[in-house]
Amino acid sequence: MNVPRLVVRGFTISLDGYGAGPRQTREEPLGVGGESLHDWLVNTPTFKGTHGGGAGQHGDTDIDEEFAAQAMAGLGAWIMGRNMFAPSRGPWPDDSWRGWWGKNPPYHAPTFVLTHHERPPLEMEGGTVFHFVTDGIEAALERARAAAGTKDIRLLGGASVIRQYLNARLIDELHVAVAPILLGSGEHWLKDIDLLELGYECTRSVASTKATHYTIAKR
């Protein structure tokens, strides 16, 4: 039986290497300036179809759509950091916060949220169930593999979570999009990371008018 791969898809950084802007809040979920990272993505038919635009929604169908469609295909589970699920820090103030995505998040599979603070599983519409994992990245991956069957597991981030999995050489392949903007500060995705030393190589690069896309694989 094949072991599900752990993949990063559609992770977007600025030209100066930041995966999010500074000062995340409920009003600025990607930090100040962070939303503009994803200009390449938000007008693709795949994004519109998975984020409330309706299936078959018109949009850009160039190389950006190729990567957007690949990012959502063949997935059996997801992993994300606490900061991607909620703007709060520390112990959960209550169970009222249910994510940024409304009643029907786009994941439609078991989704494992890394946190230091326990919280009961949260079942949403469309098949998404958030599980809150307090015993580390390897435990989250083990649970995601059990849930994914033979499908891939997508690691969403944020940047610090991707660094943790990279340092453990647990990521099999990454698609990183570089947006032509500068953020100046925020969360740098390669802080203290040596991809060559860890055994990764760039296997593809291709540019659209809105981003340059790189595929990085573990040798």
What residues have CB less than 8 Å from 135, skipping those under 6 apart?
Answer: none
State the Cα–Cα distance between residues 75 and 59, nearest whole angstrom. Answer: 23
User: Is pLDDT of 80 > 90?
Assistant: yes
Asked if the structure places residue 42 within a domain, the reply is yes
Residue 59 has pLDDT above 70, yes or no: no
Domain assignment present for residue 93? The answer is no
Is 62 inside any structural domain?
yes
Instruction: Classify residue 96: in a domain, yes or no.
Output: no
Query: Domain of 180: which CATH number?
Result: 3.40.430.10
- pLDDT recorded at residue 3: 83
Instruction: Assess if residue 101 is contained within a domain.
Output: no
The torsion angle over the Cα atoms of residues 92, 96, 101 and 105, rounded to 10 degrees, is 90
At 149-208, the pLDDT tens digits run 999 999 999 999 999 999 999 999 999 999 999 999 988 999 999 999 999 999 999 999
Angle of helix 159-167 versus helix 137-148 axis, rounded to 10? 90
pTM > 0.85: yes
Helices (H) and strands (E) in the chain, counts: 7, 9
Q: Is the pLDDT of residue 13 over 90?
A: yes
Domain annotation covers residue 143: yes
Give the mean model confidence (pLDDT) for residues 69-75: 96
The pLDDT value recorded for residue 28 is 83
CA distance 20 to 205: 22
Q: What's the token pair of residue 151?
A: 């499908």
Domain that holds residue 150: 6-19+35-88+107-218
Contact 192, 162 (CB under 8 A): no
Which percentage of the chain shows pLDDT scores above 70? Answer: 95
pLDDT tens readout for residues 96-118: 999 999 999 999 999 999 999 99
Measure the CA–CA gap between 77 and 153, rounded to whole angstroms: 5
**For residue 85, which of 53, 116, 127, 41 has the smallest C-alpha distance?**
116
The predicted structure's pLDDT at residue 27: 82
Taking residues 44-51, report their average pLDDT: 90
Total tally of structural domains belonging to the chain: 1
173 CB-near residues (< 8 Å, 6+ apart): 5, 7, 8, 215, 216, 217, 218
8 Å CB contact between 110 and 91: no
Query: Are the C-beta atoms of 199 and 33 separated by less than 8 Å?
Result: no
Whether residue 118 is contained in a domain is answered as: yes
Backbone angles phi, psi at 19, to 5 degrees: -90, -5
Closest by Cα among 38, 86, 84, 85 to 64: 38
Beta-bridge partner residues of 158: none
Enter the tokens of residue 168. 């453990």
